[in-house]
Amino acid sequence: MASKASGKPFSRRRQTDIFLGSLKGEKRTIPIDFNKLRLAAKEHLSDEAYAYIAGSAGRESTKRANRDGFSQWKIVPRMLNDVSQCDTEITLFGNRYPAPFLLAPIGVLDMAHPGADLAVAKAAASEDIPFIFSSQASVDMETCSSAMGNSPRWFQLYWSTSNELVESFVRRAESCGCEAIVLTLDTTMLGWRPRDLDLDYLPFLRGRGIAQYSSDPVFQRLMQTELGDADEPPKLTWSSIKALIQMAKNYPGGFWNNLLSKDPRRAVKTFIECYSRPSLTWDDLSFLRSLTDLPILLKGILNPNDAKKAIEHDMDGIIVSNHGGRQVDGAISAIEALPNIIKEVNGDIPVLMDSGIRSGSDMYKAIALGADAVLLGRPYTYGLGISGEQGVREVLKNYRADFELTMALSGCRTVSEISEEHLESV
Ligand SMILES: Cc1cc2nc3c(=O)[nH]c(=O)nc-3n(C[C@H](O)[C@H](O)[C@H](O)COP(=O)(O)O)c2cc1C
């Protein structure tokens, strides 16, 4: 049991490290409090990067609702339950994980830090917390997984207009040792995001966040078809030159070769043509099902009827999520949507949730409402922005310690003991 490695619970060791570190004069760069973490990251990020990471759809009311939803539930601790030894371990699809949280797929992580996905992969591996590789990663899954040893990883898929590309991604994820496929359903097109629109900045147009694509043999072939036709040279302006330089930097191979080649532009054009399929329907899922024996989870479910359909279509799990409020403004918060979905699923398949998790007590509440695990998103991205791999590692340790303490102090020794009995709505 990882949390008992040195006899003392993980959370006690973490607190000791922090307090003793300060006595020894060590300086911590990662604030514990979420708002301080966000503000510290803002100092390290470009305006475009901060807008992309912090921003959400429309007037950002969904993002606010994600937080407000948690305050509607209060934890009601139980006493005298011998919580000297607590076990935060969970099992999902037959795999054991040390704590009930995974790292959400976050695209274009190089906007936060040049170490990007590779830094996150190493931090996740060092803490044995599963990392869900994004389809929009800045570093390809092969590079990340080769730095992770046997530690757990999943792959998140956006369904391309090309089924051949979908198949290629799934095969690569299998070869990389991914333990599950997460199919994200809520981003068949990009939400209306005022912060990015006001800065006129979309990273993909600069060749950022397309590493899974440009490293893919099927995609490279598609690039050479009419999908990638980028024969028209762009009008040369200061900003088009900057964009061409960025595309050349972000494309695999040598910078000077890339600058003279059409391929970086072809890659961006092909990506825009094929990254997503808005015409996707429930019937398409059988194709994905036929491709792999890995568990498939649908991410972006908010309606109990869709949860029911996921089960009917042979899916293995769902992730209740509104994409951190980035897609539909005025949508239901994920934590509000959770109870009805749990009721509908009735234990048939695992239910995970994300959107708004900012502390150990948020994790606890989601689990008490019936979630099997949660996904951490922006918090680790801010840790990455502040100090790369080390920053992510610190965030992971803090969330794990906070969760373990919340669990113990509420009178629960194991994750399975956490139940609605420990929660009251106000
Ligand atoms: C900058 C950013 C990029 C994201 N990229 C992806 C992605 O590539 N694929 C995906 O399924 N979800 C993506 N998400 C959504 C996250 O997986 C997760 O649902 C969300 O971050 C949860 O909200 P929270 O971080 O506010 O808790 C992204 C979120 C952010 C903030």
String of DSSP letters for 326-385: TS-TTPPPHHHHHHHHHHHHTTSS-EEE-SS--SHHHHHHHHHTT-SEEEE-HHHHHHHH
Residue with tokens 């020794």: 413
pLDDT tens-digit readout, 22-70: 899 988 999 999 999 999 999 999 999 999 999 999 999 999 999 999 9
Domain boundaries, given as residue ranges, for the chain: 28-195+277-425, 211-274
Q: Output helix, strand, coil percentages for the chain, rounded to the nearest 5.
A: 50, 10, 40
Q: Spell out the residues 6+ positions from residue 245 whose beta carbon is closer than 8 angstroms to its own.
A: 259
Cα distances (angstroms) measured from residue 420 to each of 249, 365, 371, 410: 51, 9, 11, 12
Three-class SS of residue 184?
Answer: strand
CA of 229 to the centre of ligand 1 (A): 31
Ligand 1 within 6 A of 324 CB?
A: yes
Q: Per the structure block, which two tokens stand in for 118? A: 């590779």
Question: CATH for 28-195+277-425, among 3.40.50.300, 3.40.50.1370, 3.20.20.70, 3.40.50.150?
Answer: 3.20.20.70
DSSP code of 75? Answer: E
Q: Is the pLDDT reported for residue 358 higher than 80?
A: yes
pLDDT tens-digit readout, 318-342: 999 999 999 999 999 999 999 999 9
DSSP β-bridge partners for residue 184:
299
Q: Is the pLDDT reported for residue 228 higher than 70?
A: yes
Ligand 1 within 6 A of 379 CB?
A: no
Q: Is the pLDDT reported for residue 231 higher than 90?
A: no
Just list the catalytic residues.
323
Residue with tokens 């097109």: 189
DSSP code of 80? Answer: -
- Give a three-class secondary structure readout of 90-102: EEECCEEECCCEE
* pTM for the predicted model, two decimal places: 0.97
1 band by pLDDT with thresholds 50, 70 and 90? very low
CA of 415 to the centre of ligand 1 (A): 25
Percent of the chain with pLDDT over 90: 92
DSSP code of 226? Answer: G
4 band by pLDDT with thresholds 50, 70 and 90? very low
Measure the CA–CA gap between 98 and 89, rounded to whole angstroms: 4
Atom of ligand 1 nearest to the CA of 66: 26
292 band by pLDDT with thresholds 50, 70 and 90? very high
Ligand 1 within 6 A of 104 CB?
A: yes
